[in-house]
A = this chain, B = another copy of it.
Amino acid sequence: MKDDPDRKPSLAEATLAGDRRALARVLTHIENDTDLGRRALDTLFPHTGNAHIIGITGPPGGGKSTLVNEFIRTWRKQGRQVAVIAVDPSSPLTGGATLGDRIRMQEWFADDGVFVRSMASRRFGGGLAQNTLAVAHAFDAAGFDPIVIETVGTGQDEVSIAALAMTTLLIQVPGTGDGVQSLKAGSLEIGDVLVVTKGDRPEAAELARDLRNIRMIGLAAGSEVGGWEVPVVRTSAITGDGIDNLTTAIASHRQWLQTSGDGAQRVRAMIAAEISVRVQQGLLGRLSEQNHDHLEALIDRVVSRNLTAARAADELLSGM
């Protein structure tokens, strides 16, 4: 099959009709932000807005993949179609997420109701957020619910992924750092549900208790808005404990989003973020296309320490 422009509408329509191969091809076009991908999205987008988009974030080796596998098992029993978007730092050397992806795909390979997609983050430029949401839209239109966005990392990345999800699970691993380090990692307030994985480890109970205490302090300081009490759930891949509590907590948060009206606010914020990122990318593209010689001359002046980067940026901005 060829991606002939004349076939585009049928590709998106095939996706809506449940064709998984069409979906896979649409995803590739969306990820690469091709014209075909954009037009497919035009067709798919009116059919979105139904899925629960769940973000899961935590350190590498923190047990995210195991958790996601357990979720898939639970949701499949409920007859739901599950999509997973695994976001990984790009790695030309190791091929990014492909290995972990392939391993996980094996288990669900024969199941049409599960779709795992890996996305490598580009080295620079932040195109990740816009593509992640666009891919989620395609899954949403194709009838997947929930859609899990799984990310490695703590820090800026984690925070921006939280802006893309309706419910964010933040994973904390016992026994990997002391108290100060754990506090330094910060970002606790982006989690709608805090998860202590490897709950069978001796340090797990203490970590869960510490997190509950920090949450209480946050509560007292008014950092939790709208009445959602962030639960702290301890899970163990070995004993299987906590998975039911966790899927219940996720369902409760979804329910709360709907009844409190906070859900509509989040969707609006997600859309604002998506537009903002796309404008940013567009402007950067414009900059790199149009002002190349001027930019190089300015860089020369900064390299020779005759001009600060701030002034160089001002000069470029004044001409845009």
Contacts from A to B (Cβ < 8 Å): 33, 38, 41-42, 45-49, 59-62, 65, 88-94, 96-97, 99-100, 103, 121, 123-124, 126, 128, 130, 133-134, 137, 151-160, 163, 173, 176-178, 180-189, 214, 217-218, 221, 223, 267-268, 271-276, 278-284, 286-287, 295, 298-299, 302-303, 305-314, 316-317, 320
Q: How far is the CA of A91 from the CA of B170 in the complex (A)?
A: 14
Bound-state CA distance A151–B183 (Å) is 14
A180, B309: Cβ atoms closer than 8 Å: no
Closest chain B CB from A228 CB (angstroms): 15
A295 CA / B217 CA spacing, docked (Å): 37
Q: Which residues of B contact A160 (CB under 8 A)?
A: 124, 156
Once the chains are docked, how many angstroms separate the CA of A302 from the CA of B269? 11
Give which listed residue, B89, B176, B281, contacts A186 with CB less than 8 A.
B89
Cβ–Cβ contact A91 & B275, under 8 A: no
B65, B182, B272, B311: the one within 8 Å of A61 (CB): B182
Partner of A278, one of B48, B159, B184, B309: B309
Q: Is the CB of A267 within 8 A of B93?
A: no
Minimum CB distance partner of A38 in chain B: B310
From known contacts A99-B184, A282-B313, A306-B46, infer whether A93 and B59 are also in contact, taking CB-CB under 8 Å.
Answer: no
B93, A221: Cβ atoms under 8 Å? yes
Minimum CB distance partner of A133 in chain B: B309
Q: Write out the residue numbers on chain B whose beta carbons fall within 8 Å of the beta carbon of A187.
A: 89, 91
Among the listed B124, B188, B221, B305, which residue makes an inter-chain contact with A48, where contact means beta carbons less than 8 Å apart? B305
Query: B154 near A60 (CB under 8 angstroms)?
Result: yes
